[in-house]
Amino acid sequence: MSLYKKTASEIAEMIKNKEITSEEVTKSFLDRIEKTEEKIGAFSNVFPEKALDEAKKYDSENNEKGRKNYDNELLFGVPVALKDNIVSKGDLTTAASKILKNYVGVYDATVVEKLKKAGTPIIGKANMDEFAMGSSNENSSIKSVSNPWDLTRVPGGSSGGSAAMVAAGQAPIALGSDTGGSIRQPACLTGTVGIKPTYGRVSRYGLMAFGSSLDQIGALAKSTEDLARLLQIIAGYDEKDATSVNVEVPNYLESLNNDLKGLKIGIPKEYFAEGLDENIKKVIMDSVEKLKKLGAEIKEVSLPYSKYAISTYYIISSAEAASNLSRYDGVRYGVRESNEDVEKMYVESRTKGFGDEVKRRIMIGNYVLSSGFYDAYYKKASQVRRLIRDDFSKALKEVDVLLTPVSPTTAFKKGEKITDPVQMYLGDIFTVSINMAGLPAISVPAGFVDGLPVGIQLIGNYFREDLLFNISHKFEGVRGKIEYPEL
């Protein structure tokens, strides 16, 4: 049985009906990892013994009485992978950085606690761009990740490992984090579905911080239903996270099959201007036509401040990164380089521990926060961020959701942009503004250009992930099934 071709939802139902055990499922995915990992490089760590032990435990309780001990049964017995910046107790958690190469988690992140209470084995940690800084997964200190559709190309980043493993059938579902598109962009480039929830919808407790006002944990999978089940498990208020919002979590599965008749979808004209590949634009407009046939109304809207999104985002995110990463000094956290002089020890530990991209963003961040430049850069960027947020608020009063591209290009070749940071940063032009506004967004596979996946991005109002799931699920029904690479 080719379990790696099935969705997490299909596997969950098979386990529930006792057609297969969690142990058999977990072993099947571990076998798939062993066969394909050398080609893909999606994992930073795999936990075969631990995952199988957890699966056996869940199998022993796969009965009416045993399941009552768990908070949620939606993915009971289905193995899940974690991005390598989400802490789990007793597991190596490195954020793909040399400075944390020996760090073993001493507690579980809130999302991990919730997954364990839902009966999901943790199969391993997903490779990523170091400290989630990158758009290609070439900034990992461990190894680069390959796109399963074309092994010479990148899977996107920073959650490229999470995306690639789902597309390659190495895991049915994987958690990621999204600071400026780090779930949605790799989802687009690998033909998977990726959700960035509303800021505050999912607890960030236990997520290694990059940009604290931007970071949000989400997930990648092969179907919208998989993500609806996963978000049902991990969403909700957490008193351990000061940014967590106490808003009721709806039943996401109930919303999947709602009628789209009369739903208003906005097309921001600024997102279809210069820079977007014409073939990608055609796929997106074909998708718009499919949604019209489902009953949706299409309206052009404007987001005039979106042209400032990239520069605003990189000022704010770099400033927050510089602040957050100051804790890694070789004393309290991370690898320490030996030196009798304390100051030199700090410098050597950080110099050898951090990669080039992380150093670049720390330097930019410290510069824009420094005396004499704070008002000119960081303060001004914060003001523009408010204008970007107001743009979205105005547009979402006219329509129910917005539809945009996710990436201006398909997956690019490895090495193509790594020496040109500006070109790399421009790859996030359609995603970063959503993080600055704190809105939810989902990337859904829409078609192909030259054999490479293309996605559409749906952006909703605050805490309306249910509506995004509804549209995405209905669209999947008319788009047709995707056949993922065999490798």
Question: Residues with catalytic annotation?
Answer: 83, 158, 182
Picking from 426, 440, 427, 443, the residue whose alpha carbon sits closest to that of residue 392 is: 440
Report strand pairing: 122-126 vs 297-301.
unpaired
- DSSP for 102-170? T-BBSS--HHHHHHHHTT--EEEEE--SGGG--SSS---SS-PPPBTTBTTB---SSTHHHHHHHHTTS
Number of residues written out for the chain: 487
Q: How far apart are CA 107 and CA 355, in angstroms?
A: 26
Q: How far apart are CA 115 and CA 113, in angstroms?
A: 6
Both structure tokens of 165 = 């493993």
3-state helix, strand, coil in the chain (%, to 5): 45, 15, 40
Are the CB atoms for 177 and 196 separated by under 8 Å? no
**Residues facing 299 on adjacent strands:** 266
Report which secondary-structure segment, H or E, holds 29.
helix 22-40
Q: How far apart are CA 230 and CA 226, in angstroms?
A: 6
Are the CB atoms for 113 and 156 separated by under 8 Å? no
- DSSP for 354-370? S-HHHHHHHHHHHHHHS
CA 154: distance to chain centroid? Answer: 15
**Residues facing 267 on adjacent strands:** 300
Q: How far apart are CA 351 and CA 359, in angstroms?
A: 8
Both structure tokens of 365 = 């961040």
Q: Tell me, letter by letter, the H, E, C secondary structure of 177-221.
A: EECCCCCHHHHHHHCCEEEECCCCCECCCCECCCCCCCCEEEEEE
105 burial via Cβ count (<10 Å: 0-12, 13-18, 19+)? middle
- Number of helical (H) and strand (E) elements in the chain, helices listed first: 17, 11
**Residues facing 266 on adjacent strands:** 299, 402
